[in-house]
């Protein structure tokens, strides 16, 4: 089996079975290619037989090339993933793949946008679009991320079969895991308004959100549209599509949502991923306190 065949199989598994984002698929495939070529691994049996010592040596060579902690941790995760996959392919016993601890990475706090900024972004993309239906489409995508906490890939994975939207939506997220999210009226209305004027047929088995030529809307186009809108509104570079999902989480937590419920709504595999939003909320309260409380020196 050639290296290209191994990579094609790995790419298809990540995109189809694991439903990873295009960005993650590209990164994981690139990591796998470097490993296969560096260690001259011709088949899954060879990948499955990699030792912890070999993986450490490969990662050390990458660190010598200037890989920082965050990137090294991400690369190690990809390496473990492909070795685990290889072991499944050859029928190895589970839990026997090499175990390695990655570099410690300090997680930064998510930077959400305010409710006014979120609605302002949706209004901006709608008003500045080259065609009315494109403006309605872009606004609907942003409102799905802000109003329902969807990842950009999840919003773009919706199909015509999801129409008409009700007060709940079944979303398939990372790891092919499904969750149910509530939909507020403004989100349902935005999607319905787009679907009504979309010039391309929206078939049940096709993407709900269409590009200009009728194919699936890409993440890159959403990111570019968001970048133009935030620039027009004078918002920082941290006002990305994913920041809308952060805003959904932060605002719910501030309104009294408990962590377990928030974990389910966001589709987090572990509660630890959700707990970071408690730090965001605490940071916001501290900022408010500092801005309102008289300083001792005054």
Q: What is the pLDDT of residues 100-117, one digit of tens each?
A: 665 554 555 446 677 788
pLDDT at site 61: 87
Q: Which comes out higher in pLDDT, residue 42 or 295?
A: 42
Between CA 221 and CA 215 the distance in angstroms is 12
Of residues 74, 174, 179, 200, which has the active-site annotation? Answer: 174
Of residues 87, 151, 188, 246, which has the active-site annotation? Answer: 151
Between CA 232 and CA 180 the distance in angstroms is 34
Q: Are 202 and 196 in contact (CB under 8 A)?
A: no
Closest-CA residue to 241 (of 123, 136, 142, 133): 142
Question: Please, what is the end-to-end C-alpha distance for the chain in angstroms?
Answer: 74
Produce one character per residue of 187-222: b if its CB has 16 or more CB atoms within 10 Å, e if not: bbebbebbbeebeeebeeeebbbbeeeeeebebebb
Residue 26 among the catalytic residues: no
pLDDT at site 214: 94
Is the pLDDT at 98 greater than 60, yes or no? yes
- The encoded tokens of residue 121 equal 């972004």
Residue 62 among the catalytic residues: no
Q: Which comes out higher in pLDDT, residue 70 or 274?
A: 70
Between CA 49 and CA 92 the distance in angstroms is 10
Is the pLDDT at 271 greater than 60, yes or no? no
pLDDT at site 163: 93
18-22, 152-156, 159-163, 264-268: least confidently modelled range: 264-268
Determine the average pLDDT of the residues in 34-42.
89
Residue 210 among the catalytic residues: no
Is the pLDDT at 215 greater than 80, yes or no? yes
Contacts of 248 (CB under 8 A, 6+ apart): 145, 146, 147, 148, 149
Determine the average pLDDT of the residues in 19-33.
84
Residue 23 among the catalytic residues: no
Of residues 62, 137, 230, 245, which has the active-site annotation? Answer: 245
Q: Are 82 and 50 in contact (CB under 8 A)?
A: no
Residue 284 among the catalytic residues: no
Of residues 19, 58, 251, 268, which has the active-site annotation? Answer: 268
With bands split at pLDDT 50, 70 and 90, how would you rate the model's confidence at 159? Answer: very high
Residue 179 among the catalytic residues: no
pLDDT at site 74: 80
- The encoded tokens of residue 234 equal 């004078």
With bands split at pLDDT 50, 70 and 90, how would you rate the model's confidence at 297? Answer: very low
178 forms beta bridges with 172
Is the pLDDT at 5 greater than 60, yes or no? yes
Of residues 18, 34, 179, 242, which has the active-site annotation? Answer: 242
């Amino acid at each position: 089996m050639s290296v290209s065949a191994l990579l094609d199989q790995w790419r298809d598994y990540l995109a189809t079975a694991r439903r990873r984002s295009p960005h993650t698929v590209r990164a994981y495939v690139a990591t796998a290619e470097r490993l296969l070529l560096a260690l001259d691994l011709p088949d899954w049996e060879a990948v499955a037989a990699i030792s912890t010592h070999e993986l450490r040596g490969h990662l050390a060579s990458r660190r010598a090339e200037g890989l920082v902690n965050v990137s090294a941790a991400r690369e190690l995760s990809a390496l473990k993933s492909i070795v685990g996959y290889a072991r499944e392919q050859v029928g190895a016993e589970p839990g026997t793949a090499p175990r390695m601890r990655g570099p410690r990475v300090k997680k930064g706090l998510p930077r959400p946008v305010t409710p006014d900024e979120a609605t302002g972004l949706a209004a901006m993309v709608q008003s500045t679009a080259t065609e009315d239906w494109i403006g309605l489409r872009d606004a609907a995508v942003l409102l799905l991320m802000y109003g329902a906490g969807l990842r950009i890939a999840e919003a773009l994975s919706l199909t015509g079969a999801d129409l008409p939207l009700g007060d709940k939506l079944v979303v398939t997220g990372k790891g092919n895991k499904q969750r149910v999210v509530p939909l507020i009226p403004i989100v349902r209305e935005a999607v319905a308004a787009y679907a009504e004027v979309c010039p391309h047929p929206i078939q049940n088995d096709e993407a709900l959100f269409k590009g200009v030529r009728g194919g699936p809307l890409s993440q890159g186009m959403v990111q570019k549209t968001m970048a133009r809108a935030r620039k027009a509104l004078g918002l920082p570079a941290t006002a990305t599509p994913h920041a809308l999902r952060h805003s959904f989480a932060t605002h719910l937590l501030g309104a009294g949502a408990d962590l377990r419920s928030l974990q389910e709504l966001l589709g987090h595999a572990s509660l630890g991923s959700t707990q970071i939003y408690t730090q965001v909320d605490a940071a916001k309260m501290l900022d408010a306190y500092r801005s309102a409380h008289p300083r001792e020196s005054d």
